[in-house]
Chain A
């Protein structure tokens, strides 16, 4: 039998606020353990939470950008459970009445647009972190992350393949990055995902047994884990077996999912409205204000890149898959207005290097040695005829390793293109003199020899001769 996967994703996006969700502590990553804490976020007796207005604003931004309805009077709720990294014994989250509901985002799947519905977006606080196995038999707790604000973005089970899931996540990540609400960094855990996967006989409209996969911290892991799970579940069912609803962990090394203790999935969280926080009332003015302040989103930017810069859809899509890349492109174009060529360099050479160095996911444009302006300069040197496209590749490689400006590299290494007729003529004469036999062959009608002779002249000039000039002069000489 053929099985159809049904996938829904729960994404946790860490918000780029300076302070935590219920206190004034810093959210900076990488501080000394427990340095970013105060009585409130470590849950001392007597403390009370006060909601950070910026968190609400960010949630509104995310909700409006994904076509959600905004809940005018939402509530914060307590999710009760015991864990050493959960200082209050409950997590403040939203349950009934989340701040945003019923949205959608459009994703590109093999050339077509697909609409993925969002069930809800809600605000919550992160927990701390347990550090095991460093002090013999004891564990340490770091509460720096406790109280860091998160958005949980929950999709409907609208996805039908691992590819669609990845495409959805990339689109969602681009949206939160463009909105400036989350840096999308999966490596540091500021954009993380749990997947709910089930399979059902193709054509059926009933939902199969839902398996939740946790611990997915890269697009590759997500893709592989979902693919693994689809196959595993299909195998179990086609073998006549039964699936039980459970939570499974993705094991990066063995490339398989494995069951977590079932005990952990049998929680009764005893949600109830947090009595320390009044209902969150959002008036129309605030919504209008946030809506007016929304930045340009990936879809709009893609359209503008196609219209304004005359880029093909494919390039425009790639350039707007990340905000930092899109910004980089526009900065380079500001330095030198040849959008098509700049786009080619980014989509071609920059992406190739990322792939070669396996930087696809952990890449930050601000760590990239070629500043946007420099890339613009490089294209300008080509357009001005100062270097050939071929030399430009050499210069680009040098820019990557040294971080120097293209002009600097060209002068240091004497890579300027030679367009000066007389010096090229001298080289041509030398080549013709040294290749008498080939000249004969050409003259007797073997046209292919012309290319060989051009190559010889280019070689003699160290690749610096302007190929067009060489062509013209050589044809004239051989006439």
Chain B
């Protein structure tokens, strides 16, 4: 096994035991990128020089034994909507094609302070809008398990990079499932924390009331470690909460005995792939075997979630993306007057999906439609949230599939946006309600493609879903499978 295949905790242990240096580990990851990224295309930017410099610094700190950070010297990747000071940040959009930010996102600053090595910026659907990583202005990313298939989106680049060992772990963002869905497609672990748990400062906003940063890792322990490093109140983000951050990595053990796990009947419906259903049912049975009590629950407003999501998310996005006007940074078109400059810059700078969503959102907020769409969507959102509150009165966590299918083929759904929107059907409610949820591998379909299991937690109860996920992971082998091992 190469060094690049290590999990974060194993890499950290290896560095601490001086069995390898951060420079060696980083070189192994860079070599892996050089070998496989030509096919997978997970990265938009690889910062070889920067990574080597950071690795050397990490080795110095390691030799001085001064830091006990588990991230020290570990090569990580960031979705390209995290602002990185001095390192190009494009959000996979032409409109930010040459944008070099003057500051670091709070989460990036936390990683740097913890001594992590940032190897590069990963591909995504433009402005994080999409479920396939095909909507990038630069190139689509391929699924490491099957190059003809998508890695899922929008954090598809990060998911593919982790699955292909092109980094030790990565960060993504999740607005409607953008961490969990590609994690499921790529057979890795993806955690969306509670809204407010992790700072959004320095993340290029898509839909402010739902965006959240989270870890994408090779196993559950890694997710706990990475979440510990990035969670916590940030005075620069008014929506981040002032709550103590538990030691997630120490709360993994203990099993599921006595835990009540809800299974929502609305999540097992026609349209989901039978193999996905079977795998998830098997996973639920495994948890029951370990002593969990399985409760049949109802989340009656589930069917409205996709519609509500696309009104609120597009409304917020239409406003969040107004700043890309070609005036102060990014792409500016040459035009005769101010109005034409705005219009042409945006016309040339944004891709089709982004334009579609800006138009939808603008419409939903416009005079005469605001009450019928935006306000009504907010009211239904409150009902969806209430469904979860009621469910959590009788259970400690909720278990569902992450996606209705496994990864689809590249190009298969690009002509039908509505079909594409339905791939997030199981993840979207969680964002509307601001809850934490984790996706982890729970099997493979006949084609050998990974299937994801989603565990949804009470607000700010990341510890419980990590514990359930860890218990399941320890009992199974899925997470140890590599794309190369197939067939």
Does B248 count as interface, using CB distance less than 8 angstroms?
A: no
CA distance A268 to B208 in the complex (A): 22
- Measured between beta carbons, the chain A residues less than 8 angstroms from B204 are 45-46
- Measured between beta carbons, the chain B residues less than 8 angstroms from A141 are 327-328
Are the CB atoms of B103 and A39 closer together than 8 Å?
yes
Are the CB atoms of B366 and A50 closer together than 8 Å?
no
CB within 8 Å of A: which B336-362 residues: 338, 342, 362
- Measured between beta carbons, the chain A residues less than 8 angstroms from B362 are 270
CA distance A47 to B204 in the complex (A): 8
**Contact code string A18-38 (vs B, CB < 8 Å = 1, else 0):** 000000000000000000000
Are the CB atoms of B236 and A44 closer together than 8 Å?
no
Spot the interface stretch: B144-152, B315-323, B397-405: B315-323
Spot the interface stretch: B27-35, B65-73, B94-102: B94-102
Does A276 count as interface, using CB distance less than 8 angstroms?
A: yes
Does A89 count as interface, using CB distance less than 8 angstroms?
A: yes
Does B92 count as interface, using CB distance less than 8 angstroms?
A: no
Q: How far is the CB of A93 from chain B (nearest CB, A)?
A: 13
CA distance A473 to B404 in the complex (A): 116
- Measured between beta carbons, the chain B residues less than 8 angstroms from A314 are none
Are the CB atoms of A50 and B319 closer together than 8 Å?
no
CA distance A225 to B338 in the complex (A): 30
- Measured between beta carbons, the chain B residues less than 8 angstroms from A270 are 318-319, 362, 365-367, 370
CA distance A276 to B196 in the complex (A): 11
Q: A88-B323, A89-B322 are in contact. Are A49 and B238 (CB under 8 A)?
A: yes
Are the CB atoms of B366 and A43 closer together than 8 Å?
no
Are the CB atoms of B319 and A45 closer together than 8 Å?
no
A: number of interface residues (CB 8 Å) = 29
Does A354 count as interface, using CB distance less than 8 angstroms?
A: no
Does A272 count as interface, using CB distance less than 8 angstroms?
A: yes
Are the CB atoms of A275 and B209 closer together than 8 Å?
yes
Contact of A90 among B203, B238, B322 (CB under 8 A): B322
Does B120 count as interface, using CB distance less than 8 angstroms?
A: no
CA distance A89 to B365 in the complex (A): 15
Does A208 count as interface, using CB distance less than 8 angstroms?
A: no
Q: A43-B323, A141-B327 are in contact. Are A272 and B235 (CB under 8 A)?
A: no
Are the CB atoms of B238 and A276 closer together than 8 Å?
yes
CA distance A230 to B233 in the complex (A): 56
Does A78 count as interface, using CB distance less than 8 angstroms?
A: yes
Shortest Cβ distance from A272 into B: residue: B365
Does A277 count as interface, using CB distance less than 8 angstroms?
A: yes
Are the CB atoms of B328 and A87 closer together than 8 Å?
yes
Are the CB atoms of B315 and A50 closer together than 8 Å?
no
Contact of B101 among A43, A44, A78, A90 (CB under 8 A): A44
- Measured between beta carbons, the chain A residues less than 8 angstroms from B208 are 274-276
Does B237 count as interface, using CB distance less than 8 angstroms?
A: yes
- Measured between beta carbons, the chain A residues less than 8 angstroms from B205 are 45-46, 276
Q: A82-B342, A275-B208, A278-B239 are in contact. Are A48 and B319 (CB under 8 A)?
A: no
- Measured between beta carbons, the chain A residues less than 8 angstroms from B209 are 275
Shortest Cβ distance from B82 into A: residue: A46
Q: How far is the CB of A334 from chain B (nearest CB, A)?
A: 44
- Measured between beta carbons, the chain B residues less than 8 angstroms from A78 are 319
Are the CB atoms of A84 and B83 closer together than 8 Å?
no
CB within 8 Å of B: which A325-378 residues: none
Q: How far is the CB of B434 from chain A (nearest CB, A)?
A: 12
Does B325 count as interface, using CB distance less than 8 angstroms?
A: yes
Does A80 count as interface, using CB distance less than 8 angstroms?
A: yes
Give the residue among A45, A48, A50 with the most B Cβ atoms within 10 A. A45
CA distance A363 to B204 in the complex (A): 47
Are the CB atoms of A88 and B322 closer together than 8 Å?
yes
Does B256 count as interface, using CB distance less than 8 angstroms?
A: no
Shortest Cβ distance from B316 into A: residue: A275
Are the CB atoms of A272 and B238 closer together than 8 Å?
no
Are the CB atoms of B101 and A48 closer together than 8 Å?
no
Does B201 count as interface, using CB distance less than 8 angstroms?
A: yes
Are the CB atoms of B102 and A44 closer together than 8 Å?
yes
Shortest Cβ distance from B378 into A: residue: A273
Are the CB atoms of A268 and B367 closer together than 8 Å?
yes
Are the CB atoms of B235 and A50 closer together than 8 Å?
yes
Q: How far is the CB of B34 from chain A (nearest CB, A)?
A: 30
Shortest Cβ distance from A82 into B: residue: B342
CB within 8 Å of B: which A65-124 residues: 78, 80, 82, 84, 87-90
Does B427 count as interface, using CB distance less than 8 angstroms?
A: no
Q: How far is the CB of A375 from chain B (nearest CB, A)?
A: 49
Q: Which residues of B contact A (CB under 8 A)?
A: 83, 89, 91, 96, 99, 101-103, 105, 200-205, 207-209, 235-239, 315-316, 318-319, 321-325, 327-329, 338, 342, 362, 365-367, 370, 374
Q: Which residues of A contact B (CB under 8 A)?
A: 39, 42-51, 78, 80, 82, 84, 87-90, 141, 268, 270-272, 274-278
Knowing that A46-B203, A82-B342, A268-B366 touch, tell me 5 more A-B residue pairs with CB under 8 angstroms: A46-B205, A89-B325, A270-B366, A272-B370, A277-B238
8 contacts between A and B (CB under 8 A): A45-B205, A46-B201, A46-B202, A46-B203, A80-B319, A89-B322, A90-B319, A272-B370
Q: Which 7 residue pairs across A and B have the least CB separation, nearest first? A: A89-B322, A275-B209, A275-B208, A270-B365, A46-B202, A46-B83, A45-B204
